[in-house]
């Protein structure tokens, strides 16, 4: 038994990814809300970045950097809070599922991994859509900027939003005991 106790239950990454993709496909309606929130705020950010030189013409030169930064922060906060809010509800609806997985050997880290991974995939999709839309709006209105740099920035921010907004709800769900999770009524 001493030998056996050293064993750990596992969740290989490809299995986790498979489950997450299935979950996203099946619950697309719900998940669309999260994607839309991210898409909108990334589009907002990208288009404003492109348009900032135009907007800046009426602002003192040294103010441009600060102004763009503040706009980015606004976009970030709107996206992160909106996403976290949706996730808190979405994850609470799955407490039974989480309790079940735990009673069959899932550890806290596995639950955390599944939920965060799912959110990051969503925010990457949203980030990409937002980038395309933002680029369209920005260039459409005559803005200028480096699309490559903006792509990197959009994706990075999308991933960071995904991680930050899912960490708390996922942590809360992961540390529940199976009994608590199974007893939970939504």
Partner 1 sequence: MATSLEAVPAIRRKLEYVVEAIDIKKYYKMGKIIVKALDGISFNVKRGEYVSIMGPSGSGKTTLFNMIGGLDKPTSGKVYIEGVDIAMLDAYELAWLRANTIGYIFQTFNLIPVLTALENVMLPMIFVGTPYDQAIEKAKKLLEMVGLGKFIHHKPGELSGGQQQRVAAARALANDPALILADEPTGNLDLQTGLHLINLLKKINTEKKVTVVTATHDLKMVDVSDRIIWIRDGRIEKIELRREIKAEAGEEV
139 touches partner 1 by CB under 8 A: no
Question: Which region, judged by CB under 8 A, interacts with partner 1, from 21-29, 76-84, 129-137, 151-159?
Answer: 21-29
Considering only residues 151 through 180, tell me which ones interact with partner 1, judged by CB under 8 A.
177-179
Q: Which residues contact 33 (CB under 8 A, 6 or more apart)?
A: 86
Name which of residues 70 to 109 contact partner 1 (CB under 8 A): 96-97, 99-108
Read off the DSSP letter of residue 59.
S
As measured in angstroms, the least distance from the Cβ of 59 to partner 1 is: 50
From CA 117, how far away is CA 111, in angstroms rounded?
Answer: 10
Binding residue for partner 1, selected from 23, 68, 123, 165, defined by CB under 8 A? 23
Give the number of C-alpha atoms closer than 13 A to the C-alpha of residue 42, restricted to the C-beta side: 33
Q: How far is the CB of 111 from partner 1 (least distance, A)?
A: 11
- Angle made by CA atoms 165, 167, 169, in degrees to the nearest 5: 85
- Specify whether the backbone of 142 is left (phi greater than 0), alpha (psi in -120 to 50) or beta: left
The pair of structure tokens assigned to 71 is 């706009």
State the nearest-atom distance from the C-beta of 42 to partner 1, in Å.
27
Q: What does the binding site for partner 1 look like in residue numbers (CB under 8 A)?
A: 1, 3-12, 15, 19, 22-23, 25-27, 96-97, 99-108, 110, 177-179, 182
């Amino acid at each position: 038994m001493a030998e056996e106790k050293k064993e750990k239950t596992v969740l290989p990454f490809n299995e986790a990814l498979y489950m997450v993709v299935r979950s996203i496909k099946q619950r697309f309606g719900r998940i669309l809300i999260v994607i839309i929130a991210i898409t909108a705020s990334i589009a907002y950010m990208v288009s404003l970045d492109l348009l900032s030189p135009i907007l800046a013409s009426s602002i003192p030169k040294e103010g441009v950097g600060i102004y763009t930064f503040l706009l980015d922060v606004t976009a970030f906060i709107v996206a992160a809070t909106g996403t976290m809010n949706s996730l808190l509800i979405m994850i609470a609806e799955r407490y039974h599922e989480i309790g079940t997985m735990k009673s069959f050997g899932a550890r806290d880290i596995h639950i955390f991994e599944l939920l965060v991974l799912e959110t990051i995939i969503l925010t990457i999709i949203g980030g990409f859509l937002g980038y395309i839309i933002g680029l369209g709006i920005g260039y459409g209105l005559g803005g200028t900027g480096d699309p490559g740099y903006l792509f990197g920035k959009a994706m990075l921010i999308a991933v960071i939003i995904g991680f930050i907004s899912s960490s708390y709800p996922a942590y809360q769900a992961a540390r529940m005991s199976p009994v608590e999770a199974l007893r939970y009524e939504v």
